[in-house]
Structure 1
Amino acid sequence: MLAASIPFYEDPQTLFIIGLLLLVLFVWYFATEIERRKRNVGTVLLLGVTALCLVSVFPLKERLKGGIDILGGSSYSLRVQQHEDETTGEKTSVTKSQVEQAIKVIEQRLNGAGTSEPLIAAQGEDKILVQMPGVTPEEAKKIRETLERVAHLELRQVHPRSNELVGAIAANTEVAPPGYKVFQQKLKDSEGKTFTSPILLSRRVALGGPDVAHATPSPTQHDAVSITLNAKGGDKMIALTEHMQPGVDRIAIVLDNEVISAPSVKTVPLGSQFQIDGLDKPGEVQDLANALMNPLENGLKVEEERSVSPLLGAEIVKQGIWSGVLGLALTFLFVLVYYRVAGIVAIIGLILNTVMLFGIMAMFGFTFSLPGIAGMVLTIGVAVDANVLINERLREELAAGKSLKTAISAAYDKAFSAILDANVTSLITAIILFWLASSTVKGFAVTLTIGLLCSMFSAILATRVLFRWGVDLGILKKLSFLNLIQSKHFDFLGKRVTCVVASIVLTIISIGAFGWKKERAFGIDFTGGTRIQFLVGNEPISNVEAEKFLAEGNLNLHKAAYVQDETNPTSGHLLTVRCDSRDTDTVIAKLREHYPKLAEKTTDDKGQEIYKIASNHEEVSALIGSGLLMSSGMALALGLVGIFLYVWIRFEISFAVGAFVAIVHDCIISIGVVVLLGRELSLIHVGAILTIAGYSINDTIIIFDRIRENLRHSFGGHTLEEVMNEAINSTLSRTILTSTATLVSVLSLAILGGAALRDFSLVILIGIVVGTYSSIFVASPFVLWWSRGRNNQLRDDGIEAEVVTEAKPTTN
């Protein structure tokens, strides 16, 4: 018997063996002190990793998985509802088995409907994520109804005095008898209009969904579903009806907590067959039959929904590709012009970094999403930072008169601690993001984490191996660099009071922005609601006119609709409308009615009529919005604490305080500027702010690392302020160049990225500028002030390094 073979990179056992071998080589590389052996082991390791990643990523269309924001489709965040006890009416906690049962039912329902294969995953204790790539917004609406339909069928006994008691209960002159509860029954008047009427039913369920053996459309009645009970259900039906009075006692058929009918018993006892009728909506009979065959034990509530049309998904892919290409091109040009031959080595390292990123994403089946693209572009900037640190160190070592081989070795050894510390702090925030963030931001966290690990590998190992081969083969004999930012002797700390006062003022203004903007400061991710988008091309729709039209129109909006128009060089204008979720359909219909081009239709490849300009929407419930706001605040707080503890361990308390104050300063001002610019805070901003928290400390760590190095080499006779000023001046070129490198890569997102990518890149751009400033003028002054309170003592790896106190007292 022949068995289908699978690629080796998909076989867990083979992957484990390959991974173990690569790990051995990795440890061997860092353990050996012999340069030639280090070069050879590094070469084998580099070739092995690159080959594995290249094999894993091809063919691209099969191996690289796109999310719904790229392929189009819908995503739903569902919460499993608590079950109500039949006797007491109290709600019980959701169990793991109930969540697993719900997932199984969802899969059966969606596959039974003939839709594309869904991605279903449990999240937390009572939440389920469902993603349906490739479905249209019209199909998404039907899928949502399928998901929320519990199909919880129950048969309950009607109280003999129901008609008499419900009126008294409603008037509060009587209470429901023990063991009974008021339900609502669907009825129709003489004109066929549906209304509801109260009815008093037993709390005890006589029989329910598990007792159903078969549910099929009735062969004799077009609006009915015929139900056959199993043997156990038949026994329950006999026990329920055998003592009833024909024509007097009634049984209510309850579906999803709503009474469908309550007929009187005609004959007793009843058997195992009955039917539910009155189903007049198209397809309702078949849908109910399918749902009854797969009932949910607990109800499901959609708390978040995202729907992206395939057309807009294609535009997002185009935006992502162009922004990525531009980011790489600008970064390569910057590195090549500034570092010349060493820049070529850095570019090869960046290419390897990209290959590894794609390979690992494909190997482990991670999905590429819009936030993931942002994370990928950002990791390019982070990888350049590491190369800048190494090349600037290399410049110093060559200037000190060392040979090229010795200078390369010394540069990597001295840059290692700064690269490690900078990447670990970013990894802390990425891991916290993955842990606490919603599915929207998890893609960014995954890509950022993988990218950071790949950038460390390519910068520390790959480029060093390339340099060593170049020297050993005689290809590299000397290196030259541009030196536009030379070390000066500015008294940065002498301006500390003025700069800190300016920072306090900016911080107060940023906090005040929330009081000024109020609810417009927060997007639907935090306040709840629906965001609707139309990609309208080159002819914009006036957001002022649209907002005025929606406000004046007879829409009966529950909440004001906010309209925004943005433009992108690659895809044209994007009209965004934020409204209350209950008004989604009304707003879309009115916009299509008022603007003819939004109502134009065409046919797809299946021959079905679709709108030329599709509408995408994202819905978040107010409850989950407040939860996301709380979890986002917790993620930010934990990120700050994690960075504080890491810097404290790696350096000491004075440095940790300075870094903490600077990060809080950067985050508040970055958020405040975004709000002042009229943007609404969303989950992608949370990812950006946490990224700033991890990234802005990179420059700070570069300065701290030089201060620590100066203390190790003893700056005897110098004041602490002089030592710190010297460290800031000697690292000034690195501080500016690393920030510039990241600015260059992120700038492509701001120019060509879509709305979400622009929101992300805007925060990052602001954060980089503010973070560069705070590293010099906020973090360092606080280190100085805090250490002065400890008698000018700075600890370095357990060794007390003391510098002389200032000759003159100072008030700063």
Structure 2
Amino acid sequence: RRTGEVYELARFVKKIPEATGEIIKSAFASQTQTGGFQINLEMTDEGAKRFRVVTEKLVDKPLAIVLDGKLYSAPVINEPLSKNAQISGNFSQREAIDLANVLNNPLSVELIVDEMYEVGPALASDTRESSIKAVQLGGILVIGFMILYYFFGGLIAVLSSLVNVTLVLGVLASLGATLTLPGVAALVLTLGMGVDANILILERIREERRLGKSPEASLNAGFSKVISTILDANVTTLITALILFWLGTGPVKGFGLTMAIGIIASVFCALFVTRSLADLFVYKLSIKRLLGLNLLPKQKIDFFKFRKPAFILSWSIVLVGVFSIFTERASILGIDFTGGDEMTIAYSQAIDTDILLKTEGLDSVGEVKLVYQKLIGQDKELLKLQTRFDQSRQALAILQSAYPQANFVEEGVNQIGASVSQGIQLNAFVSVLCALVGILLYVAFRFEIGYGIGAVVATVHDVLMTVGLFVLFGSMDILVSGQFTAPMLAAILMIVGYSINDTIVVFDRIREELELNPGMNLKAIINLAINSVLARSILTSVTTLLAAVSLYIFGAGIITDFSFVFIVGIITGTFSSIFIASPIFYYWHRGDRRLVDAMEHKPKSYDWEEKEA
């Protein structure tokens, strides 16, 4: 009822159905013009005939929709229907999707729960503990570095980041979300972007202080000049997150949701929490020196002098990596993508899965997954062993030989399908592709098309280099496994977000310098812009690397692979913003700033001649 009172309405349903779900070709939820939701139905050719007969008899009467003996809905038929129909009502989006799923149910038999298991964590206890310690160590290193380098400014950044974490975790908890590795990846990325925003602010305040401004004036000028950079970088990444959430499924959707929440929290904390704390320190506590060390004064490096060798070197590495992907394509996909054997093993002595996975010789069978399970209602616990097809018995023999005291005994083996279906893989690819198009359109609108081309090419470069090096090192059994598992999807998506953020910061400064220096040619403008944000790029990379490297050194298993991808992504993201994105922007305009100004509809009169590169 509208009063909020819940009531039940009895419906008597015929035992023999008028029609089965086989008459429905497809059912999907859509939004109405009034903002509500409805379910759209399309019948098969034969189904349309049957549906016409049924609905002609039931005009102004309810038609029950039943699945597995449960009545889900009973819409009233307004008129005879055949090929297409809509079910309207006061549906929420979730209710409309659920009802569409019921109507799409392809099964002609009832699902019955045969067995239910309690499943142990995918990460072994030793791995979890070492990873938690690595996160703690990384956090301590980042906090220590920020405070040591920036003094009170670093303390402000740390406090703002803590508020950021609290907000993100609070929102996720209120949504009832479970934090998985894809969610952790998104959280790490947004925290990195939050620290980056604070470093941008602090370095901009430092620039204003160099000009001789007072602490108060430097604070105000620093914040006012950095707002557009923070918004552009985060809005571009937010577009990516929303597209991943909208189009993605499974781990991709979870990554997109956490990333979107984190970006909004990061912007809020950077522009409001950091500003409020800075005002408190400067105006209320009368602290005149927010910033401490200055080990990276503004440089005058001619980056363009190195653009060609850097370009050739980086794309050569990309080609080697792509070649490795091609040659190793049959072995790089893990069980999550290919499926394999799942063996049930009984035992008399439980041994931690982290110890079992380190058994000598076990790596000869390829990827191995181990998890303890217990049938609900029983005390007996079993060990589930997952391997590639036809490798489970060889893996069991190795474990039996290494741990005879455990008395491992095979109880059965089945073949399992991929947990990351081809649909999820396709959705992930389409989502990233659409995200790149979204980036191009936004950057072209906010800046102009040359910036957009540079940003997209740099992002593709970073993903290819990271994935290629991961596979290359994995094929040589160096540093990483080289196996693609479900969490690796999130790691790759994380690189997309990090690369975009880094590139937009550089581009925003190029745009600013174009405005401030109308008498300077394009090459000099780009060099000036890169040198102006160089300290920020290095410091952001250092702080993020402190956390990523500690996770790589002290983590284990998938955590090691995950952190390796992040480390490579951080390095290549910083590199590409300088040596890939910026030169592409330069060459797109044939090295002539007048073409840039013309694209931005800002014609100027020049008293200088553009020199060729």
TM-score w.r.t. the length of structure 1 is 0.56
Tell me the alpha carbon deviations over residues 601-626 of structure 1, each in whole angstroms, 9 at most, x when there is no partner.
9xxxxxxxxx9xx99x9996359633
Higher RCO by CA contacts (8 Å cutoff, separation 6 or greater) = 2
Q: For 1:335, which of 137, 143, 146 is the aligned residue?
A: 146
Which segment is superposed worse, 384-393 or 658-667? 658-667
Partner of residue 637, structure 1: 433
Question: Which residue identity lines up with residue 156 of structure 2 in the other structure?
Answer: V
SS at match of 2:547: helix
Question: Which residue identity lines up with residue 786 of structure 1 in the other structure?
Answer: W
Distance change >3 Å, CA 101–CA 495, structure 1 → 2: farther
Partner of residue 578, structure 1: 387
Partner of residue 362, structure 2: 546
Question: Which residue identity lines up with residue 525 of structure 2 in the other structure?
Answer: V
SS at match of 1:93: strand
Distance (whole Å) between structure 2 residues aligned to residue 596 and residue 755 of structure 1: 21
Q: For 2:201, which of 390, 397, 400 is the aligned residue?
A: 390
Tell me the alpha carbon deviations over residues 193-236 of structure 1, each in whole angstroms, 9 at most, x when there is no partner.
xxxxxxxxxxxxxxxxxxxxxxxxxxxxxxxxxxxxxxxxxxxx
Partner of residue 28, structure 1: none
Tell me the alpha carbon deviations over residues 167-196 of structure 1, each in whole angstroms, 9 at most, x when there is no partner.
xxxxxxxxxxxxxxxxxxxxxxxxxxxxxx
2:527 is aligned with 1:720: no
**Displacement of 1:755:** 2.8
SS at match of 2:287: coil
2:584 is aligned with 1:782: yes
Question: Which residue identity lines up with residue 644 of structure 1 in the other structure?
Answer: L
Distance change >3 Å, CA 94–CA 343, structure 1 → 2: same
2:368 is aligned with 1:596: no
Distance change >3 Å, CA 494–CA 318, structure 1 → 2: same
Partner of residue 447, structure 1: 258
Whether the 8 Å CA contact 1:564–1:575 is kept in 2: the answer is no
Whether the 8 Å CA contact 1:429–1:694 is kept in 2: the answer is yes
**Displacement of 1:408:** 0.8
**Displacement of 1:704:** 1.2
The two structures, once aligned, show a CA RMSD in angstroms of 4.3
Tell me the alpha carbon deviations over residues 35-74 of structure 1, each in whole angstroms, 9 at most, x when there is no partner.
xxxxxxxxxxxxxxxxxxxxxxxxxxxxxxxxxxxxxxxx
Whether the 8 Å CA contact 2:160–2:269 is kept in 1: the answer is yes
**Displacement of 1:524:** 3.0
Distance (whole Å) between structure 2 residues aligned to residue 127 and residue 440 of structure 1: 23
Superposed, 1:605-754 pairs within 5 Å as 621=417, 625-678=421-474, 679-716=482-519, 718-754=520-556
**Displacement of 1:689:** 2.0
**Displacement of 1:444:** 3.1
Consecutive unaligned residues of structure 1, counting only runs of 5 or more, are 1-84, 108-119, 129-146, 153-294, 549-560, 567-573, 602-610
Whether the 8 Å CA contact 1:429–1:691 is kept in 2: the answer is no
**Displacement of 1:714:** 2.9
Superposed, 1:123-138 pairs within 5 Å as none
**Displacement of 1:407:** 0.9
TM-score w.r.t. the length of structure 2 is 0.73
Distance (whole Å) between structure 1 residues aligned to residue 183 and residue 414 of structure 2: 18
Partner of residue 557, structure 2: 755
**Displacement of 1:774:** 0.9
Tell me the alpha carbon deviations over residues 766-792 of structure 1, each in whole angstroms, 9 at most, x when there is no partner.
111011111111111111111127774
Whether the 8 Å CA contact 1:336–1:344 is kept in 2: the answer is yes
**Displacement of 1:735:** 1.2
Whether the 8 Å CA contact 2:186–2:259 is kept in 1: the answer is yes
Distance (whole Å) between structure 1 residues aligned to residue 205 and residue 504 of structure 2: 19
Superposed, 1:334-413 pairs within 5 Å as 334-413=145-224
SS at match of 1:410: helix
Question: Which residue identity lines up with residue 368 of structure 1 in the other structure?
Answer: L
Distance (whole Å) between structure 2 residues aligned to residue 123 and residue 801 of structure 1: 59
Distance change >3 Å, CA 707–CA 497, structure 1 → 2: same
SS at match of 1:435: helix
Tell me the alpha carbon deviations over residues 405-450 of structure 1, each in whole angstroms, 9 at most, x when there is no partner.
1111111111111111211222222223323333234433332222
Identity of aligned residues (%): 35
SS at match of 2:596: strand
Distance (whole Å) between structure 1 residues aligned to residue 261 and residue 580 of structure 2: 31
Consecutive unaligned residues of structure 2, counting only runs of 5 or more, are 1-17, 29-38, 42-64, 73-94, 345-350, 371-382, 475-481
Tell me the alpha carbon deviations over residues 95-154 of structure 1, each in whole angstroms, 9 at most, x when there is no partner.
4699x96588799xxxxxxxxxxxx997897599xxxxxxxxxxxxxxxxxx99x794xx
2:366 is aligned with 1:562: yes
Whether the 8 Å CA contact 1:390–1:412 is kept in 2: the answer is yes
Partner of residue 25, structure 2: 93
Q: For 2:324, which of 498, 513, 523 is the aligned residue?
A: 513
Whether the 8 Å CA contact 1:657–1:783 is kept in 2: the answer is yes
**Displacement of 1:640:** 1.2
Distance (whole Å) between structure 1 residues aligned to residue 343 and residue 304 of structure 2: 50
Distance (whole Å) between structure 1 residues aligned to residue 314 and residue 184 of structure 2: 32
Whether the 8 Å CA contact 2:502–2:577 is kept in 1: the answer is yes
2:280 is aligned with 1:473: no
Whether the 8 Å CA contact 1:535–1:575 is kept in 2: the answer is no
Partner of residue 111, structure 1: none
Partner of residue 420, structure 1: 231
